[in-house]
Structure 1
């Protein structure tokens, strides 16, 4: 390998040169530019087409989302009768006495109004059931 000596190699110029007497009046030029008041260019928002198109797109998206959000918030959180009945039938540790404890007088009145048995239907049930004593005691 050859010995490399920096002093013997030709030097390459930087390519940048300052003009003559540039730094003599540099500070005065900078102060003049700072002191000058330039008018700022004001661009009104309504003249920009991109901003208007984005604004219109946002309004359309919001308008389309209102029914979806409204429908999502108004969905009923109450249980329907079938779901409640299925849940109660699969609960093995729940019996009729537990259900009776939870009923108040208003609920009992509603149950009485909802059941409409005719005399003939009641007689048929009692006649066909061999455990009449159990039905009477309940």
Structure 2
């Protein structure tokens, strides 16, 4: 494939139809004669059109304000999908039951203590959870706490300055 350089191109690349310049003058004169013969252009404007056009435009704009809103997610489709999801969840919960039953014994004592500590219960609120038999003084006196448990508690929770006897 041979590339043409700009300085070697001898023609402009544009062509005119045959006998174009000899017939152009006749075509222009014929068009002028036709325009002179026609009195009207064929387009009519009704009487007082420009007097009433502004109010007509404002009326159409005001009436178009009640457009219909097309929702992206229709309520029927959302309702059907949530119903299907609810049925699936119900089906899985009924047919695939876990055989493990969680009881109070399974719950760690530490998690209960942390819950009660961070919830800021007062002593009266905690006492309202216990019965009179459980709050009896004998229950607190008869319980013996091993000495190792007391030592472990003091080592974990007390400061050294608190343990030094003056």
Task: Establish whether TM, by shorter chain, passes 0.5.
Answer: no
Which structure has the larger Rg over C-alpha atoms? 2
TM-score (structure 2 length as normaliser) = 0.25
